[in-house]
Amino acid sequence: MPDSEYRDIRRLNLFSQMAEENFTSLMRGAYVQNFPAQIELITEGEPSDFFHVVISGSVDLFSSWNGRDTSMATVRPISTFILAATIKDAPYLMSARTLEKSRIALIPSQDVRAIFDADSDFARAIVTELAQCYRSVIKSQKDLKLRTSLERLANYLLRQQRHAGGETVFELDFEKRRLASVLGMTPENLSRAFKGLQPYGVTVTGTRITIGNQGDLEHFAKPNPLIDDFST
């Protein structure tokens, strides 16, 4: 692993406070690999052999049941996934596939658990990370249960706008079919939902979104930090 990557990973909140020796030990046991797009990295139900760190590219976490499937989240560099399964030594609850060419570090789960037992700074960092993940899912659950699909889309656009710097014009960073799945609707309905937001000044050209009237859209979307602010 190149030194720059090593340092980038070390800077993650999860790893930044642990003893150098333990971090080095974790990294020594890690496999770093380049994967092409659309590769299934893990499959739900399998034992959690590896903890994953996305170094570049992006990864879709999804889940299936009875022939249906749904996107649960997207992991972008630099961050990690499947921490809870690793810690509990329990089966993966979600599958993961690369969305594009991606570079990923695979850390054997048993190493993570061993260092977790040995390094209490690492254990504490894991607490913070898990609490963050937990709260994110709760927010997403509230989004799903309390809002219509039109409201979810409106709020997603506002979040994405903020994430992209707050400009009036910005780009979606999802394929629309995946966005639909993340928002819990069909691609057809997403198309119609975009039209449904036209009265609030939203125009769409390909992946380019224009918020024509910020106030109108916000008045409709009623964003709420307890649902939409992913930083707390």
Residues engaged in binding a copy of itself (CB under 8 A): 44-45, 63-66, 68-70, 72, 83-85, 87-88, 90-91, 93-94, 116-117, 120, 123-124, 126-128, 130-135, 137-142, 144-147, 151, 184, 222, 224, 226-227, 232
204: contact with DNA by CB under 7 A: yes
Cα separation, 46 vs 54, in Å, equals 20
Provide, rounded to whole angstroms, the least separation between the CB of residue 111 and a copy of itself. Answer: 16
17: contact with DNA by CB under 7 A: no
Q: Which is nearer to a copy of itself, 37 or 137 (CB)?
A: 137
Q: Which is nearer to a copy of itself, 56 or 63 (CB)?
A: 63
SS3 56: strand
3: contact with DNA by CB under 7 A: no
Q: Which is nearer to a copy of itself, 55 or 143 (CB)?
A: 143
Q: Which long-range contacts (CB under 8 A, 24 or more apart) does 193-196 make?
A: 193/149, 193/150, 193/153, 194/153, 196/150
Please list the alpha-helical segments (H only) found in 48-166: 83-88, 109-118, 120-146, 149-163
Q: Strands 50-56, 79-81: parallel, antiparallel or unpaired by DSSP?
A: antiparallel
Answer with the entry of a copy of itself, DNA, none that 128 interacts with (C-beta below 5 to 8 A by kind): a copy of itself
- From edge to edge, which strands make up the β-sheet containing 79-81? 31-35, 102-108, 50-56, 79-81
Q: What is the DSSP letter of 188?
A: H
Binding mask 160-199 for DNA (x = CB under 7 A): ---------------xxx------xxxxxxxxxxxx----
Residues making contact with DNA (CB under 7 A): 148-150, 175-177, 184-195, 204, 206
